[in-house]
Structure 1
Amino acid sequence: MPVARARQIVLTASERRRLEKLAYSRTAGFALVVRVRIVLDAAHGYSNKIALRRQIHLDTVRTWRGRYADHGFDGLKDRPRSGRPPRFSPLQRAEVTALACQLPAQTGVPLSRWSSSELAAEAVKSGIAEAISASTVHRILSGAALKPWQHRSWIFVRDPGFGLRVARVLDLYQRTWDGQPLADNEYVISSDEKTSIQARCRCHPTLAPGTARMMRVNHEYDRGGSLSYLAAYDVGGARVFGHCAAKTGIVPFMTLVEKVMTSEPYASAKRVFWVVDNGSSHRCKAACDRLAARFPNAVMVHTPVHASWLNQIEIYFSIVQRKVVSPNDFTSLDPVEDRLIAFERRYNETARPFEWKFTQTDLADLLARIERHTQNEHSQQHTGYDHQPAAQPAAA
């Protein structure tokens, strides 16, 4: 009876590189790595004694050597298997999904949001299944891309002049006002307040980073008070003006305005546009009149309600939060103020204008989403059918 000979394996250069990369991979599955090493050994001319070399069964070597010889790399993949029959019918899976799409309060459960274990318990209680595990519920919901244990807040646009106000600010960022380009001696200033910056004196000193150790900040601290940081940002010139105050208000804001408007080139500018939100320090027409009375060349422009994201100074404040305030470790308010002002000088030395990406096209898309949401809401009220809106625009 003839003896079966080992299948011969011949690899191209690209096949060898691919297999060698997988043979030493730390992320590929263990079974695939074993199969790849069998093929590489076979390509080096080894017989089926690879089984002894790799300490695996002889049939395993024959199987994967033969499959690669017949089908190439695809032969190293597992063939489709029927698997265990599903325990839950498509109807039961749909009912679990429908349950996850309801708020717990709608089913009388005293929870704010579902977890996999709570959904499993409720599915059994409501008769969807006699028994079901939390992991099974998780797999069912993963297939439907549902995560009811997570939530994200959003706010609906309620400013009747939202589109017009946003368009005005976007035009200013493009150096346009009322359809006319701004002159060289006209400037756009973005201004706001960063409130309640605390001085937290840690009970133990902060430890610097070390080998295989990140910086350590003690959790316990004594409160050293808080202050507000008011800042104005020249959108075109990438220059920041700021000062600290015990609290926000009309007087601290006008102090900031005074600091900017009495310095050049703003003092002799034709117009200086101040983009502000609807905070109490600069709200409504009274604030506009107060600013114009003090500086006739200043024009206050308000962002819509709940649209502070439109104000470029918020980008600078996020930089301050990351690089100056966090982690918060100050013995008193004086070091907080000193660091804020020192960082302001440091920032102005190398600052460049922000690359603003929200355009008029994006605004049109947002307004279209708001319109679709409004239409869906009216349709829901008219039909009485409870359904999720197609889009939920986040204005802030």
Structure 2
Amino acid sequence: MPLARWSCPELAREAVRRDIAGFVSASTVRRWLTEDAIKPWQHRSWIFITDPGFRLKAARVLDLYARTWQDRTLGEDEYVISADEKTSIQARCRCHPTLAPGQARAMRVNHTYGRGGALAYLAAYDVHAARVSGRTEPRTGIDPFIHLVVQVMTQEPYASAKRVFWIVDNGSSHRGQKAADLLSAAFPNAVLVHTPVHASWLNQVEIYFSVVQRKVVSPNDFTDLAQVGDRLRAFEDRHNATAQPFRWKFTTSDLDDLLARLDQHTAGRREESSAASTA
């Protein structure tokens, strides 16, 4: 059947057509699917590991979360920063005012809006202090990233720290050895640490950005970009006054278990492919 996903009425009709049942209603099919352990209509995206240095790079990040670097415990004057950019935060100026929620009625946000521009939100999250330093920029790039680094590294306790580790992904704003050299040249006590390719989920600042998306940006009803920036800065102040470090539970042992399962899965697929080609 040329269907990637079936509706309950379609499944009910198909069951009757195949003589699986003399009659079954769509609501009954819906109830069966709700109760069943397998949910074939649900899916999750994933990407296979392609970085040859994945284990080494991932373990390095996980060790920093555990306050370890090259098998040595970090000192009190050493810090770990998780940094990245949240791009294209729009100011969607709704054509009609948003209606507040009422009894048995959700808040109503007008579907049509005028575009008030977009900005990038750059944030540096201190993993162990749960403190955020952020800024807004018209766009991303190496210069906006360096502006964030300067903003953080010229303030205490980072300015006089022995070392400040900056965990970043492989985005164009801070990719490769060139970005690492640029950072260390500007601030000798700064160390740039890259996550593996396609492994931004290892970067804790992404958790903070998910909170920003839920609590600050959605449902995106702003009058202009200035209001977006003001809201983001106000949220930073609120976060820094009350936040606790994220309870990060994924360790290097979990990493090794994950890689072992992936190797086993890959080996099984290779055997299946070899058997199919032989047949």
Q: What pairs up with 1:73-92 in 2 under 5 angstroms?
A: none
Q: What pairs up with 1:244-393 in 2 under 5 angstroms?
A: 244-384=136-276
Partner of 2:86: 194
Q: Which amino acid aligns with 1:297?
A: N
Residues 196 and 228 in structure 1, CA contact (< 8 A), matched pair in contact too: yes
Residues 90 and 115 in structure 2, CA contact (< 8 A), matched pair in contact too: yes
Residues 80 and 126 in structure 2, CA contact (< 8 A), matched pair in contact too: yes
Instruction: Measure the CA separation in 1 of the matches of 2:189 and 2:239.
Output: 27
Residues 15 and 24 in structure 2, CA contact (< 8 A), matched pair in contact too: no
Instruction: Measure the CA separation in 1 of the matches of 2:63 and 2:22.
Output: 57
Partner SS state of residue 227, structure 1: strand
Higher strand share: 2
Partner of 1:55: none
CA deviation after TM superposition for structure 1 residue 212, in Å: 4.2
Partner SS state of residue 282, structure 1: coil
1:179 aligns with 2:71: yes
Instruction: Measure the CA separation in 2 of the matches of 1:130 and 1:178.
Output: 63
CA deviation after TM superposition for structure 1 residue 151, in Å: 2.6
TM-score, length basis structure 2: 0.89
Unaligned runs of 5+ in 1: 1-108, 386-396
1:236 aligns with 2:128: yes
Q: 1:225 to 1:133 in 2, by over 3 A?
A: farther
Residues 116 and 134 in structure 1, CA contact (< 8 A), matched pair in contact too: no
In terms of mean alpha carbon deviation, does 248-257 or 362-371 score higher? 362-371
Instruction: Measure the CA separation in 2 of the matches of 1:157 and 1:370.
Output: 9
Instruction: Measure the CA separation in 1 of the matches of 2:223 and 2:249.
Output: 39
Q: Which amino acid aligns with 2:5?
A: R
Partner SS state of residue 340, structure 1: helix
Unaligned runs of 5+ in 2: none
Residues 81 and 165 in structure 2, CA contact (< 8 A), matched pair in contact too: yes
Q: 1:133 to 1:163 in 2, by over 3 A?
A: farther
Partner SS state of residue 97, structure 2: coil
Deviation digits for residues 100-151 of structure 1 (CA, Å, limit 9, x no counterpart) = xxxxxxxxx33323445555666788xx548765659948878974433333
TM-score, length basis structure 1: 0.64
Deviation digits for residues 149-180 of structure 1 (CA, Å, limit 9, x no counterpart) = 33322222222222221111110001000100
Report the RMSD for the aligned CA atoms in angstroms: 2.5
Q: What pairs up with 1:16-27 in 2 under 5 angstroms?
A: none
Instruction: Measure the CA separation in 1 of the matches of 2:86 and 2:220.
Output: 15
Instruction: Measure the CA separation in 2 of the matches of 1:292 and 1:167.
Output: 22
Q: What pairs up with 1:118-197 in 2 under 5 angstroms?
A: 118=10, 129=19, 135=25, 138=29, 145-197=37-89
Q: Work out the percentage of aligned pairs sharing the same amino acid.
A: 67
Deviation digits for residues 262-292 of structure 1 (CA, Å, limit 9, x no counterpart) = 1111111111100001111011111111111
Structure of greater relative contact order (alpha carbons < 8 Å, 6+ residues apart): 2
Partner SS state of residue 173, structure 2: helix
Instruction: Measure the CA separation in 2 of the matches of 1:129 and 1:135.
Output: 14
CA deviation after TM superposition for structure 1 residue 316, in Å: 1.0
Alignment length (residue pairs): 275
